[in-house]
């Protein structure tokens, strides 16, 4: 079976590295035209777009801070200018500012909430507005539009030393479910993906060497995830193969969220 996203346009936020870059590449491989958003790292996003185009696909790199309304408006306008419509939003931008509660500053809190939660709200809102005003393409998707929120196992697993991050992802969960409840009747599918420990720049210190070994104790399946593990599932969730999947979270975590501490009888 082949998954095709031909004639569809995708916007991937936070696409210059890690999970976002792999998702953008995978969506392009499945045939979608892709707008790859970056915040500070223009060069890798542009390089990825160039590679997709060199391989016969369609892609652009678009700069924006997803926590800024003006930037998000500009990013959507640029995507529509380039490709004329939008079918898939992967709201993936995310960051960490880790600190124990005694040391966490308001800036640490606001920075994480602004990108990880407000950014997902602003992008989802802009996507829903666009999905609602455009026609369904006869040769496109069954859905009017699809939103995939990139969440985390930490929407379920509390995380000491990271209360800002866990709170942002807990917020993403109910943002996603509430949106799904509100806009499914328009033919818009809203879902989340919750990755566990995936080897990316956000957690490179924790996934290598001794720290990596320790991390494996939390992963019953016995390996750190690859960005492709998440990218492959994202392509499926963006495609009509998952057309009846609405308002749900797909955990991609090697079992990290199933309480591995209880393996040996608790």
Q: Which of 182, 192, 109 lies closest to 155 in space, CA to CA? A: 192
Task: Name the residue number minimizing CB distance to ligand BGC.
Answer: 152
Is residue 203 a contact point for ligand BGC (CB under 6 A)? Answer: yes
Distance, in Å, from the CA atom of 246 to the CA atom of 187, rounded to the nearest integer, reads 10
Q: Which stretch binds ligand BGC (CB under 6 A): 50-58, 70-78, 127-135, 196-204?
A: 196-204
Q: Which stretch binds ligand BGC (CB under 6 A): 99-107, 120-128, 151-159, 225-233?
A: 151-159
Is residue 235 a contact point for ligand BGC (CB under 6 A)? Answer: no
Q: What is the CA angle 77-92-173, rounded to 5?
A: 115
Distance, in Å, from the CA atom of 33 to the CA atom of 114, rounded to the nearest integer, reads 28
144 vs 154, which CB is nearer to ligand BGC? 154
197 vs 233, which CB is nearer to ligand BGC? 197
- In angstroms, give the least distance from the CB of 169 to ligand BGC: 7
- In angstroms, give the least distance from the CB of 8 to ligand BGC: 27
- In angstroms, give the least distance from the CB of 262 to ligand BGC: 17
156 vs 189, which CB is nearer to ligand BGC? 156
Distance, in Å, from the CA atom of 71 to the CA atom of 126, rounded to the nearest integer, reads 11
- In angstroms, give the least distance from the CB of 104 to ligand BGC: 16
Beta bridge partners of 146: 88, 189
Within 10 Å of residue 166's Cβ, how many Cβ atoms? 20
- In angstroms, give the least distance from the CB of 151 to ligand BGC: 8
Q: Among 152, 177, 249, 257, which residue interacts with ligand BGC (rule: CB under 6 A)? A: 152
Is residue 202 a contact point for ligand BGC (CB under 6 A)? Answer: yes
Is residue 206 a contact point for ligand BGC (CB under 6 A)? Answer: yes
**In a 3-state reduction of DSSP, which class is residue 251?**
strand
Q: Is 38 known to be catalytic?
A: no
Here the tokens at position 161 are 């030393």
59 vs 199, which CB is nearer to ligand BGC? 199
Q: Which of 51, 5, 61 lies closest to 25 in space, CA to CA? A: 51
Contact yes or no for 193/149 (Cβ under 8 A): yes
- In angstroms, give the least distance from the CB of 155 to ligand BGC: 9
Q: Taking CB under 6 A as the criterion, which residues in 79-108 touch ligand BGC?
A: 96
Give 48's Cβ-side CA count (13 Å radius).
Answer: 30
Supply φ then ψ for residue 214, to 5 degrees. -65, -40
- DSSP code of 102? T
Q: Among 122, 153, 199, 237, which residue interacts with ligand BGC (rule: CB under 6 A)? A: 153
Contact yes or no for 43/86 (Cβ under 8 A): no
Active-site residue set: 165
Residue ranges that bind ligand BGC, judged by CB under 6 A: 96, 152-154, 196-197, 202-203, 206
């Amino acid at each position: 079976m082949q998954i095709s996203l031909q004639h569809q346009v995708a916007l991937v936020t936070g696409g210059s590295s890690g999970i976002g870059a792999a998702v953008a590449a995978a969506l392009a491989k499945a045939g979608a035209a892709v707008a790859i958003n970056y915040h500070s790292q223009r060069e890798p996003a542009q390089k990825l777009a160039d590679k997709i185009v060199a391989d016969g696909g369609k892609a652009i790199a678009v700069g924006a801070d997803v926590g800024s309304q003006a930037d998000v408006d500009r990013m959507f306008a640029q995507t529509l200018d380039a490709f004329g419509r939008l079918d898939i939003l992967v709201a993936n931008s995310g960051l960490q500012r880790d600190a124990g509660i005694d040391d966490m500053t308001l800036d640490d809190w606001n920075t994480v909430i602004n990108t990880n939660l407000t950014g997902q709200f602003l992008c989802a809102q802009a996507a829903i507005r666009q999905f609602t005003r455009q026609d369904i393409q006869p040769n496109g998707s069954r859905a009017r539009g699809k939103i995939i929120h990139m969440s985390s196992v930490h929407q379920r697993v509390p995380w000491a030393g990271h209360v800002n991050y866990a709170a942002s992802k807990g917020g993403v969960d109910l943002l996603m479910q509430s949106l799904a409840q509100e806009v499914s009747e328009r033919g818009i599918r809203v879902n989340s993906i919750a990755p566990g420990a995936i080897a990316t720049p956000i957690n490179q210190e924790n996934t290598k060497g001794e720290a990596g070994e320790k991390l494996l104790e939390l992963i019953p399946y016995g390996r750190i995830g690859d960005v492709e593990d998440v990218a492959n599932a994202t392509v499926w969730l963006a495609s009509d193969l998952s057309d009846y999947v609405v308002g749900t979270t797909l955990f991609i975590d090697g079992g990290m969220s199933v309480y591995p501490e209880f393996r040996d009888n608790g």
